[in-house]
C-alpha cells in the first residue's frame, strides 16, 4: 500500500523522546513515562498536577539539604515535568556525585540526559541504574527508547523484548515497541503492537493517540479520528483530533531536543 506523502518526512525526522516511557527529547512525553518509570520503592514521585508548584515545593526542600537523595530525586523529576531540562540534568548530576551508586538517582540522571538529547551519555548512565543480575524492566524500556532515538531500532527492540520477558504484555513497553516499528516504517507491525497495548484495558491515553497516528499514516483517517476521540469528553476528544491532524499534516517533526509539542508520544 502506498504510504501517505507525509510519512517519509515524519519518520525520517521523527524525534521520539521516551517516555519510553520517557518517557524522548523532541517529542511530546506528557509525563515522560517512557523514561521515567519507577525504579522500586519511592524511585518515582507521582506526577504532580501543577509541575510549577512541584518545582517550588521540592526545590525548597532540596535547597534546605542538597545531600538528601529523595529531595534531589523529586526536585529533578519536577524540573523535568516542568520542562526545565538543563536544570534537571544539573540537579541529578550533582546528586549522583553526592550519593554515588544511588540507582534511582542514576535512573533520573539518565532520563534527564535523554531529555536534552545526550543519548549516548543517557544510555551509559541508565546502564548503571540496574544490573544484569537484577534488571529493571522500566530501565530496559528506557534504554530501548534512547536507542531508538539514536536510530538503532533493531537493538532497541532487543531491550524491549527483555523488558517484556520480565513484564509480559506491559502496555508502556508495547507502546514504545510500536513507536519503534513506526520509526523504521513498518506501519502494520506498529499498528498490531499498539493494538496489543490498547487491548490491555485501562492504559495510558498516549497509547490511543499513537495508535490513531499510525492508523492515520496508513491513510485510514476516519478510523484514526474515531480511535483518538473514543469515549472521551468533547473537549479532550477535540484536542486529540487536533493533535492527530497536526501530526498528519506536518511537514516534518522538530529536530531532536527541540519543541516537544508536536511529535509521537512515548508511554
Residue 153 has pLDDT above 60, yes or no: yes
Tens digit of pLDDT for each residue in 221-260?
999 999 999 878 899 889 889 988 888 887 434 333 333 3
| Predicted TM-score of the model (pTM) | 0.78
Distance CA 145, CA 154 (A): 11
Q: How confident is the model at residue 265 (pLDDT cuts 50, 70, 90)?
A: low
If residue 21 lies in a helix (H) or strand (E), which one and from where to where?
Answer: strand 21-22
- What number of helices (H) and strands (E) belong to the chain? 13, 2
Cα–Cα nearest to 58, from 36, 44, 89, 79: 79
* pLDDT value of residue 47: 56
- 3 within 8 A of 187, measured Cβ to Cβ: yes
* pLDDT value of residue 204: 83
Taken in order of first residue, the domains within the chain and their CATH numbers are 37-168 (1.25.40.10), 170-251 (1.25.40.10)
* pLDDT value of residue 130: 95
If residue 110 lies in a helix (H) or strand (E), which one and from where to where?
Answer: helix 103-115
Residues composing the chain: 267
Which residues, at least 6 apart from 37, have a Cβ–Cβ distance to it below 8 Å? 19, 20, 21, 44, 137, 138, 139, 141, 142, 172
Q: How confident is the model at residue 203 (pLDDT cuts 50, 70, 90)?
A: confident
Phi, psi (5° rounding) for residue 77?
A: -65, -40
Of the two residues 16 and 96, the one the predictor is more confident about is 96
Angle at 182 between CA 197 and CA 172, to 5 degrees: 30
Residue 5 has pLDDT above 50, yes or no: no
- 48 within 8 A of 78, measured Cβ to Cβ: yes
Q: How confident is the model at residue 264 (pLDDT cuts 50, 70, 90)?
A: low
The whole-number average pLDDT for the span 129-141 is 94
Distance CA 151, CA 11 (A): 11
The whole-number average pLDDT for the span 105-123 is 97
Q: Sort 158 into a burial class: Cβ within 10 Å, 0-12 / 13-18 / 19+.
A: middle
- Which of 5-19, 83-97, 122-136, 216-230 has the lowest average pLDDT? 5-19
* pLDDT value of residue 59: 97
Name the H helices within 14-84: 51-64, 69-81
Amino acid at each position: 500500500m502506498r504510504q501517505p506523502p507525509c510519512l517519509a518526512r515524519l519518520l525520517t525526522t521523527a524525534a521520539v523522546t521516551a517516555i519510553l516511557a520517557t518517557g524522548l527529547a523532541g517529542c511530546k512525553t506528557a509525563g515522560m513515562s517512557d523514561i521515567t518509570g519507577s525504579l522500586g520503592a519511592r524511585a518515582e514521585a507521582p506526577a504532580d498536577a501543577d509541575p510549577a508548584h512541584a518545582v517550588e515545593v521540592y526545590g525548597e526542600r532540596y535547597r534546605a539539604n542538597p545531600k538528601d537523595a529523595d529531595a534531589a530525586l523529586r526536585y529533578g523529576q519536577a524540573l523535568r515535568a516542568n520542562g526545565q531540562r538543563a536544570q534537571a540534568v544539573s540537579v541529578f548530576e550533582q546528586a549522583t556525585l553526592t550519593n554515588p551508586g544511588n540507582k534511582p538517582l542514576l535512573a533520573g540522571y539518565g532520563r534527564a540526559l535523554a531529555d536534552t538529547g545526550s543519548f549516548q551519555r543517557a544510555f551509559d548512565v541508565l546502564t548503571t541504574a540496574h544490573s544484569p543480575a537484577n534488571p529493571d524492566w522500566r530501565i530496559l524500556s528506557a534504554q530501548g527508547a534512547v536507542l531508538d532515538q539514536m536510530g538503532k531500532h533493531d537493538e532497541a527492540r532487543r531491550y524491549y523484548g527483555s523488558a517484556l520477558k520480565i513484564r509480559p504484555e506491559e502496555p508502556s513497553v508495547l507502546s514504545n515497541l510500536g513507536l519503534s516499528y513506526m520509526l523504521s516504517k513498518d506501519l502494520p507491525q506498529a499498528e498490531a503492537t499498539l493494538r496489543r497495548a490498547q487491548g490491555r484495558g485501562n492504559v495510558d491515553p498516549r497509547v490511543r493517540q499513537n495508535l490513531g497516528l499510525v492508523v492515520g499514516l496508513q491513510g485510514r483517517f476516519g478510523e484514526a479520528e474515531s480511535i483518538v476521540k473514543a469515549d472521551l469528553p468533547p473537549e479532550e476528544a477535540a484536542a486529540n483530533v487536533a493533535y492527530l491532524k497536526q501530526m498528519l499534516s506536518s511537514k516534518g517533526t522538530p529536530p531532536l531536543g527541540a519543541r516537544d509539542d508536536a511529535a509521537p508520544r512515548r508511554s
